[in-house]
Structure 1
Amino acid sequence: MRVLFAGTPAVAVPSLDALVEAGFDVVAVLTRPDAPIGRKRVLTPSPVAARAAELGIEVVHASRVDDAVTAKIAAVSPDVAAIVAYGGLVPRAALDVPRHGWINLHFSLLPAWRGAAPVQRAVMAGDDITGAVTFLLEEGLDSGPVFGTLTERVGPEDTAGVLLERLSHSGAVLLAQTLSAVEAGKAVPEPQQGEVSLAPKLTIDDGRIKWNQPALAIGRQARGVTPEPGAWTTLDGQRVKLEPVRLRPDVPDLAPGSVQQSGKIVLVGTGSHAVELTRIQPSGKKMMAAADWARGMASLESVVFE
């Protein structure tokens, strides 16, 4: 079966590899254009584009699927399109090109967390269970009927990045299985059932810690925005980046945002009990252990995160 693969970030690469390893004829890859990376802003291919080049697969770069891109897709005559975090909408004209349609691997249990940041929003909401589904892509937002589902437990220390990495590999297997069922004529998608929730793309503001919130909410927020866009706070008007915190209900309460050191442990007050800082990156410096940062401060008595 001839497959067009659409994807951009690193989490889509396991799916591309899985389809190739399963013996599908991946005739082309659709991915977003090269993007500037690093301080020197060097134009760099997407992880999917780089992997496709290694595999010798034709690459179509496009920030949006317009008429010209649709013509390129039609020119390779795919039987089906597999899409994993491509990063753009697929219009009706392109959806109609493959005879089996477009099959999307989405990292949530639809209809929960429709949108661009399903894993991040699930962690931030405190979900105990998440997963991935394959579904038939429609013009609506992640609304198509579902082919297959897998579930994944959200661990108490899982960041969005760690959880997404796990799902990218288990989801790749699910996608290959779904395409095999489609090829065999045994795939029957079922309408989504349940309550819809939305997972819009994260912004920088989603990472700002509000210390008057309960510790549990702060912990979930910090894990949900790690690694991107990252958790942060301000100190003396300067932005300070934070890695996920640990909950410490066993220590005395502190005023929200107040910092205190106990041995090698650095604590911050919240709207409930304190949390422990793990690593911190002050403005203009490298990420470091919280205890090392605290030792470099003249005094913590007057340190209050805003």
Structure 2
Amino acid sequence: MNNKLKIVFAGTPEFAVPTFNLLNKSSHEVVCVLTQPDRRSGRGMKINPSPVKRAAQQCALYILQPESLDHNVMENLKDLNADILIVAAYGLIIPKSILHIFPKGCFNVHASLLPRWRGAAPIHRAIESGDPKIGVTIMQVVEKLDAGPMAKKVSMDLLEKYTTGDMTEAMALMGAKLMMEVIDVIASGNSINWIEQNESDVTYAKKIRKDEGILNLNEDPSILIKRIKAFNPYPGVKGLFRGKGLKVWNAVLIDNFDILKNLQPGDLKVIEKRLILRLDRGGIELMEMQVEGEKKIEAKDFIFRYKINQGDRIN
């Protein structure tokens, strides 16, 4: 028989929402939601709540949004007498003083097959590196970043067509279900077979910088394609077209190099409603793009709207 657990949930972005939703709909009780403070975002740079805060507000739950996890936050959490802390992409390192509050432990859903890709951007880095598989791991939260012993993992093939946007949604749903399996084991009083991470296999997923999205015409085409997939939707791979910013949302490798003859790196060429971009070491076919201030469109519509001619370039 499962015992009802009192849960504190810590999460911020859209990735964390499916885990929050499953917890909130379960037989357990979410007594508090920890999430990042409201931030400026979007075109108008308006102050917006996190996706997790929006979800928690719909359920009228107690919400804490500290800038840091200081002594006052610790005392607030102590007063809740919660059993367990569940973390999903919260965004702050949780100190030992808070980890010790929860008698049933603290558990994190992380979007990688640990110990590969500890850190802030595991899905981006897996796609950028061309990993054959991707997955999620449920682990204990310890003070060291994403280094705790693991309870469960699940993986899937990382096909070349997948973007970070695709995989974030898929990993969020997989992670939510996996976390519920772990919580049910804990609630039933059964033990978990913890597996320590092998430190010799650790890689780190550095936070994505906006300048990583600058279009590099000298890059190997296959590497550029991986970056386009990895940085879709954020920060995007961007160049300049007719003096305006252009974001490349999707592209594929070309298999006919004859079409690149007489082109210089950066040149655009239209071939039967296909849009080809010449690179220094080959070329790619652009599939979807977005001119700054306008909507994302497919290549055939881009060709028609902008009347692509000889001499048009992306820099």
**Aligned residue type for 2:208:** L
Corresponding residue for residue 79 of structure 2: 75
1:227 aligns with 2:236: no
For the residues of structure 2 that align with 1:137 and 1:301, how far apart are their CA atoms? 57
Distance in structure 2 (CA, Å) of the matches to 1:296 and 1:150 = 44
**Cα distance in 2, alignment partners of residues 300 and 114 from structure 1:** 46
Query: SS at 2:170's partner residue?
Result: helix
Structure 2 residue 28 is the aligned partner of structure 1 residue 49: no
1:146 to 141, 147, 150: 150
The alpha carbon displacement at 1:246 in A equals 1.5
- 5 Å matches for 1:73-222? 73-183=77-187, 184-193=189-198, 195-222=201-228
Q: 2:15 aligns with which of 1, 5, 11?
A: 11
What stretches of structure 2 of length at least 5 have no aligned partner?
none
Rounded to whole Å, the distance in 2 between the matches of 1:286 and 1:22 is 40
Indicate yes or no: 2:289 matched with 1:283.
no
Q: Deviations along 1:116-170, whole A, 9 cap, x unmatched?
A: 0000100000011010001111111111111110002112210001011001001
- 1:241 and 2:247 are equivalent in the alignment: yes
Q: Closer, same or farther in 2 for the Cα pair 1:192/1:294, shift >3 Å? A: same
Q: Any conservation in 2 of the 1:152–1:167 contact (CA below 8 Å)?
A: no
Once the 2 structures are TM-superposed, how far is the Cα of residue 215 of structure 1 from its aligned partner?
1.4
Secondary structure of residue in 1 paired with 2:205: coil
Contact 1:212/1:257, CA 8 A, preserved across alignment: no
Q: Please report how far the alpha carbon of residue 66 of structure 1 lies from its aligned counterpart in structure 2 after TM superposition.
A: 1.5
What amino acid maps onto 1:270 in structure 2?
Answer: L
Identify which of 241, 253, 275 aligns with 1:266: 275
C-alpha contact 1:231 1:244 (8 A) present in aligned 2: no
Aligned to 2:70: 66
Query: What is the alpha-carbon root mean square deviation over aligned residues?
Result: 1.8
Asked if the contact 2:231/2:237 (under 8 Å) is kept, the reply is: yes
The residue type paired with residue 303 of structure 1 is: D
Alpha-carbon shift at residue 20 of structure 1 (Å): 2.4
2:279 alignment partner, SS class:
coil
CA positional deviation for 1:295? 3.5
Number of equivalences: 306
Range that drifts further, 235-244 or 20-29: 235-244
- Residue pair 1:8, 1:87 contacting (<8 A) in 2 also: yes
Measured after TM superposition, the shift of residue 262 of structure 1 is 0.7
Deviating more after overlay: 181-190 vs 106-115? 181-190
In the alignment, is the contact (CA less than 8 A) between 1:249 and 1:273 conserved in 2? no
Letter in 1 for 2:80: V
Q: Which amino acid aligns with 1:275?
A: I
2-structure distance, mates of 1:118, 1:281:
26
Q: Which moved more, 1:127-136 or 1:27-36?
A: 27-36
In 2, the alpha carbon distance for the partners of 1:276 and 1:65 equals 48
Residue 277 of structure 1 aligns to a residue whose secondary structure is: strand
Structure-1 separation of matches of 2:11 and 2:177: 16
State the distance in 1 between where 2:280 and 2:201 align: 30
Three-state SS of the structure 2 residue aligned to 1:39 is coil
Give the CA deviation at 1:273.
3.3
The code of the aligned residue for 1:203 comes to R
Q: Displacement, 1:37?
A: 3.5
Q: For residues 159 and 307 of structure 2, what CA distance do their matches in structure 1 show?
A: 37
Q: Which moved more, 1:250-259 or 1:159-168?
A: 250-259
Q: Which runs of 4+ in 1 moved over 6 A?
A: none
**Greater CA deviation, 254-263 or 35-44?**
35-44
Q: How many angstroms apart in 2 are the aligned matches of 1:196 and 1:272? A: 32
Q: Is the Cα contact below 8 Å between 1:233 and 1:240 reproduced in 2?
A: yes
Partner of 2:309: 300
1:138 and 1:144 in contact (8 A); partners too: yes
Q: Kindly indicate whether the alpha-carbon contact (under 8 Å) linking 2:35 and 2:52 is maintained by their aligned counterparts in 1.
A: yes
| Partners of 1:51 and 1:285 in 2: CA distance | 30
Letter in 2 for 1:62: P
Distance 1:63 1:152 in 2: 35
| Farther off after superposition, 45-54 or 141-150 | 45-54
